[in-house]
Amino acid sequence: MQLYHFSEDPGIAVFEPRPVRVPSERGPGQDWLNGPLVWAIEDAHQALYLFPRDCPRILIWPTPSTTAADHAAWFGASPAKALAYVEWDWWRRLGAERLYRYDLPVEPFESLSDAGMWVARTAVTPLAKELVADLPAALQAQGVELRFTETLAHLRPVWDTTLHASGVRLRHARDWG
């Protein structure tokens, strides 16, 4: 397994734990997730972060319990492993943005058992860094189909399906709040 951190900054020598920028409501006993941490994503879910940092997006993919009806309703005939929905306002930036994928050691991270997210409570030195210059091509290589829409708000019902849905930076989405 590989762990990664994606950044627009090409010069990170050490990832220092820091609190999240916008704290989230966490379940009982989970408040520590808003505290100082280093966040990473496992390779199988890296598509969640192949976007400019503040780009609001929703990614969906089937799970073992996904019904044929839900798959057909959302994926249609698409052979994609996952679908990524992004607002049209981000189209140009998504095509122009460059990211750096930092390869991180598995130690000292612990799994959150949530869509491939891992956290470390101590500083982490990256093992390597790779430029990702073409984000749409990187998403395609991960089996993700990009879909653009005026707003993400109409996608709220996906959370009531048997598909997995992950929303990232939705506070920046039009008509979300």
Q: What is the pLDDT of residues 125-169, one digit of tens each?
A: 999 999 999 999 999 999 999 999 999 999 999 999 999 999 999
pLDDT of residue 26: 75
Which tops the pLDDT comparison, 161 or 27? Answer: 161
Secondary structure (DSSP) of 51-103? S-TT--EEEEE--TT--HHHHHHHHTT---SEEEEEEGGGHHHHHH--EEEEE
14, pLDDT greater than 90: yes
With cut-offs at 50, 70 and 90, classify the pLDDT of residue 31: confident
Question: How does strand 110-111 pair with strand 117-120?
Answer: antiparallel
Mean predicted lDDT score pLDDT of the chain: 94
Rounded to 5 degrees, φ, ψ at 59 are -115, 135
Domain map of the chain by residue range? Answer: 3-172
